[in-house]
Amino acid sequence: MKAVLQRVTRAAVAINGQTHAEIAHGMVILLAVHRDDEQEDIAYLAHKILNLRIFADAQQRFNLSVRDISGSLLIIPQFTLFAATRKGNRPSFSTAAGSEKARRMTQAFLSYMQARYEQVFCGVFQAHMRVSLTNDGPVTIIIDSQERKRSRRAV
């Protein structure tokens, strides 16, 4: 799974011109499922997101997690995070999970997060969404669950 996290002061997702979900201070998480992802990827990514210290403490240092600040999470399914653009001008999405697996894994991820944190909101899988946000910082972090399998010594 791949997630792009953006620290925000506000964010909203609209579908068909109607606000579907909105948050104040917290994180927007753009989420994509890889074709090789398994249940372990869900736990790994959720743990990283909930414990990542990207919010400022009293000394303006990144020492606080979303839990520490009682922030909200807005999770947006976005398969295009696995776009391959090396060859040609049309992106390939061959490494992204197929629709059924992606739907199942996205729902499992949302359920996992909601069981561990109450301020979790989400977009709608395969819907055309309009996402608006005010990035705070800006702070944007990318987490790929496949990274946990790679040696830390590899360059």
For domain 2-149, the question of CATH label 3.50.80.10 is answered with yes
Q: What percent of the chain has pLDDT over 70?
A: 97
Question: Does 18 participate in catalysis according to the annotation?
Answer: no
Q: pLDDT value at position 115?
A: 97
Q: Which of 9, 39, 80, 126 is catalytic?
A: 80
Residue 64 has pLDDT above 60, yes or no: yes
- Which helix (DSSP H) or strand (DSSP E) does residue 27 occupy? strand 26-32
Question: Does 80 participate in catalysis according to the annotation?
Answer: yes
Tell me the pLDDT tens digit for each residue of 117-133: 999 999 999 999 999 99
Nearest-10 Cα torsion for 61, 64, 66, 70 = -110
pTM for the whole structure: 0.92
Tell me the pLDDT tens digit for each residue of 13-32: 999 999 999 999 999 999 99
Summary mean pLDDT of the chain: 94
Question: Does 85 participate in catalysis according to the annotation?
Answer: no
Q: Which residue has the tokens 């830390």?
A: 152
